[in-house]
Structure 1
Amino acid sequence: MNLLCQPTRLDALLDDIGAWVRHESPSGDAAAVELLQRNIAMHAQRAGLATRWIPLPSASAAPVLVVSSRAPGDTRAGILVLTHVDTVHPHGTLERNPYRIDGDRVYGPGGYDMKAGAYLALRALATVAHQCRARLPVDMLFIPDEEASSLQSRPVTTGFAQHARYALVCEPARSGGRCVTSRKGVGRARLKVTGRAAHAGIDHERGRNAIVEMARHVAVLSNLTDYSVGTTLNVGTIEGGTGANVVAEECAIRVDFRVASMAEAERMLAALRGQRASSGDFTLDVDVQLTRPPYEKSAATAALLQIAQQHARAAGFDLLDVPQTGGASDGNFTAALGVPTLDGLGVDGAGAHTLNEYFLASSVLPRLDFWTRLLAALE
């Protein structure tokens, strides 16, 4: 890999991206993620970029890799580029969906989401820094746990965001090459009911069925969904009981909820935390948190989009945005802090998180040109 090789050829870019894709890096394998990060860091250093590592609290988590064009002593607010190198795909997925080029489609696990976009942004950063064209310092974070909700890395991202003028996210473009300017917030909850076990045939009346009690809560929580304001709640898993002939002593559910605004986030958090057992015969434990705040399109983000659109046109394509999406990213964190944030700036394609994941080769050169122009122009 040569981040500064000239001239820029599509086949060389695809070879480099292919090397990243062939290195499987599932979120649950910190060693595999860090090995890919170290390879990236080595090539970034060879291109003249500074690198450093930020360890995360968990010993089982890979660190955050920071690649920067920032000169020593430069403390100006700059551009924060967010990317991740972990994927949802377990080891062995590459055998089922090998890296290959079929016409305009380039297949492989994690290529579309989001190794191709990450590579192009890094390549553009190296070019801009080498040519001394950047007006602002650029810090690029390679996050190791984004696909696992960024539970460990979130403080690192928000720490950088507090000193950033803009945030650009390498998540894949939506269909037709559209970018993202707003995302729903995401919350997770676990509810556990404890009742009283009993023999279902001999002592049924002595038992207190935790599954029946939990069913009441499931019905109440499901009614919190309100499509008119973009709020959804999904009871995703349920487990409980030990056998058909035993009154169930315990039952637990896991819940996912999505919200378009902080007002709705507060409503959902209050509703979940306000759940109470129907009687003293049961205990109810609720663990709930907003894992990603809503990313709402601000006037500053709209203005940043207009700037990006100018450079996209110069690179040969139109950059439109999509309506608020239900998926989340690390862009949720920066936008919630008031940083103008553009997301979904990676390559065009489809099939994220599936065995049919692919990106379009025809989007690679225009996106590289776009990233180079944008990083050089922002001030």
Structure 2
Amino acid sequence: MIPDPAQAAAVDVPALHAWLREQRREMVDDLAEYVNHETPSTDKALLDAGLAWLERWLFTRLGAPARRRRMDGGRYGDVLVLDYPGSGTGPLLFLAHYDTVWEAGTLAAWPFTVVGGRATGPGVLDMKAGLVQAVWGLHALDALDLPRPPVRVLLNGDEEIGSPASRPLIEEAATDAELSLVFEASADGALKTGRKGVGMYRLHARGIEAHAGLEPAQGASAIGALAALVPELHALSDPAAGTTVNVGTFHGGTRGNVVAGYAYCDIDVRAATQAEAERLEKALDALTSPDPRVTLTLEGGWNRPAMERAETSGRLMALTRALARQLDVDLGEVTVGGASDGNFVAALGRPVLDGLGAVGAGAHARHEHVLVDAMAERAALSAGLCAVYASG
């Protein structure tokens, strides 16, 4: 059950914020140490080392969990689930991935630094600062002798590559959670109550090779057939509905003097609603080759379902806005094109708030940064939410 926004008045969010501001140096030190553990999605050894550090750090800040589970991710990062006891309704599920898009060695040329109130470094915004804020929010409740609800922290190391190993564990953890909080970066401070679903497809075309000069008519160009379909694919986009289709890569052929016998393209599709996702799926399945001698094969599918703004989203935003107003913050909400593990939770019909993480910009880019002054504010906001649930 989602608490009434009036219950926010019982939580002294400014006191939480004041305490967290006093701890800002330690928060930034924690963030620096976390960023200095490189955790690229494709490097299992570094992921394991990063997760080991995280578990030690969590013990330091939150104490021992009541229950610990670590699931082998195979060639992907392991999943760590820690359950902490508390009072009131719960558990609240904290979702945070520890992998980043940055390859090993990036840190050498781009070290963690703080300049002009901005902290920068690989993965600082997406999403290492978010987890630091979340944990410090809980730490603030302990320090001020305030109750905290039962909390389940799930850390996964494969989000940036689609959460192939962790998805079933995320869905399992969310099933009995009172609320799931996703500490992905905010959108200029706004929470994310809607996210597009993401589909990843590869379209193969197989034709007939022939000498391009001697017997071109004997060939059936896979490149020609596939290229003719690109405008048709892009035409499936519907900007008004929030639907995008992008052919991002195109490969084929062997030599310039050979009619191409094989080609393929990679297609990224995004839809804001399940209805649009179904329309796209049907259209992709119905694709036909303009040359009957060229056969098409479609592989792939929807990696993440759409996170549509639910009725519960409005009530959760009302509660969170009431907490934010205590800090004179006018909290906004947006729907964004990128997906997260929150999409999986929303597809289960479970309440979820996303974008509770850091304020900054430049995810997946070299100008990635977080605003240091906003870290205490965001931590106080998540702590306030937890305090409301602890009193419920």
Q: Same fold (TM over 0.5)?
A: yes
1:243-276 per-position Cα deviation (integer Å, ceiling 9, x unaligned): 1100000000000011010000001111112223
How many residues end up aligned between the 2 structures? Answer: 369
- CA shift at 1:127, angstroms? 4.5
Match of 1:312 among 311, 317, 324: 324
In 2: Cα distance, 1:320 partner to 1:126 partner: 26
Q: Look up the match of 1:87.
A: 100
- CA shift at 1:377, angstroms? 1.2
Q: Is the 8 A contact 2:20 2:376 kept in 1?
A: no
SS in 2 for 1:67: strand
Indicate yes or no: 2:185 matched with 1:172: yes
Match of 1:14 among 4, 28, 33: 28
- CA shift at 1:48, angstroms? 2.0
Q: Which has the higher contact order (CA 8 A, sep 6+)?
A: 2
Indicate yes or no: 2:39 matched with 1:25: yes
In 2: Cα distance, 1:99 partner to 1:205 partner: 59
Q: Is the 8 A contact 2:90 2:151 kept in 1?
A: no
In 2: Cα distance, 1:220 partner to 1:63 partner: 40
In 2: Cα distance, 1:316 partner to 1:112 partner: 24
Q: Is the 8 A contact 1:69 1:125 kept in 2?
A: no
In 1: Cα distance, 2:239 partner to 2:256 partner: 37
Indicate yes or no: 2:61 matched with 1:49: no
Q: Is the 8 A contact 1:347 1:364 kept in 2?
A: yes
- CA shift at 1:294, angstroms? 0.8
In 2: Cα distance, 1:178 partner to 1:85 partner: 22
Match of 2:110 among 73, 92, 97: 97
SS in 2 for 1:355: coil
In 2: Cα distance, 1:7 partner to 1:178 partner: 21
Match of 1:37 among 23, 31, 51: 51
Aligned-CA RMSD value: 2.2
In 2: Cα distance, 1:316 partner to 1:14 partner: 24
In 2: Cα distance, 1:229 partner to 1:270 partner: 17
SS in 2 for 1:213: helix
Structure 1 residue runs of 4+, over 4 Å off? 5-8, 129-132
Percent identity at matched positions? 37
Q: Is the 8 A contact 2:324 2:331 kept in 1?
A: yes
| Structure-to-structure mapping, 1:250-289, within 5 angstroms | 250-278=262-290, 280-289=292-301
Q: Structure 1 residues 7, 312: closer, same or farther in 2, change over 3 A?
A: closer
Q: Look up the match of 2:166.
A: 153
Match of 1:115 among 128, 134, 137: 128
Q: Look up the match of 2:350.
A: 339
Whichever residue aligns with residue 82 of structure 2, its letter is V
1:183-238 per-position Cα deviation (integer Å, ceiling 9, x unaligned): 11111100101111111111211111100111222222111011121111000000
In 2: Cα distance, 1:369 partner to 1:280 partner: 62
Q: Look up the match of 1:225.
A: 237
- CA shift at 1:315, angstroms? 4.3
1:265-309 per-position Cα deviation (integer Å, ceiling 9, x unaligned): 001111112223345522211013111111111111110111112
Q: Is the 8 A contact 1:49 1:68 kept in 2?
A: no
Q: Look up the match of 1:375.
A: 386
Q: Is the 8 A contact 1:188 1:288 kept in 2?
A: yes
SS in 1 for 2:100: coil
In 2: Cα distance, 1:84 partner to 1:316 partner: 30
In 2: Cα distance, 1:198 partner to 1:144 partner: 46
Q: Look up the match of 1:292.
A: 304
Q: Is the 8 A contact 2:247 2:265 kept in 1?
A: yes
Whichever residue aligns with residue 69 of structure 2, its letter is W
What TM-score, normalized by structure 1, do the two folds share?
A: 0.91
Whichever residue aligns with residue 256 of structure 1, its letter is D
- CA shift at 1:146, angstroms? 0.8
SS in 1 for 2:54: helix
Compare 256-265 and 274-283 and name the one that shifted more.
274-283
Q: Is the 8 A contact 2:249 2:267 kept in 1?
A: yes
| Structure-to-structure mapping, 1:191-202, within 5 angstroms | 191-202=203-214
SS in 2 for 1:182: strand
Indicate yes or no: 2:356 matched with 1:352: no
Q: Is the 8 A contact 2:306 2:347 kept in 1?
A: yes
Q: Structure 1 residues 367, 77: closer, same or farther in 2, change over 3 A?
A: closer
Q: Is the 8 A contact 2:93 2:151 kept in 1?
A: yes
SS in 2 for 1:252: strand
Match of 2:255 among 221, 243, 246: 243
Q: Is the 8 A contact 2:220 2:291 kept in 1?
A: no
Q: Look up the match of 1:60.
A: 75
Whichever residue aligns with residue 249 of structure 2, its letter is T
What TM-score, normalized by structure 2, do the two folds share?
A: 0.89
SS in 2 for 1:142: strand
Whichever residue aligns with residue 39 of structure 1, its letter is W
1:114-152 per-position Cα deviation (integer Å, ceiling 9, x unaligned): 111111112223454674612x42111111111111122
Segments of structure 1 that go 5 or more residues without pairing to the other structure are none
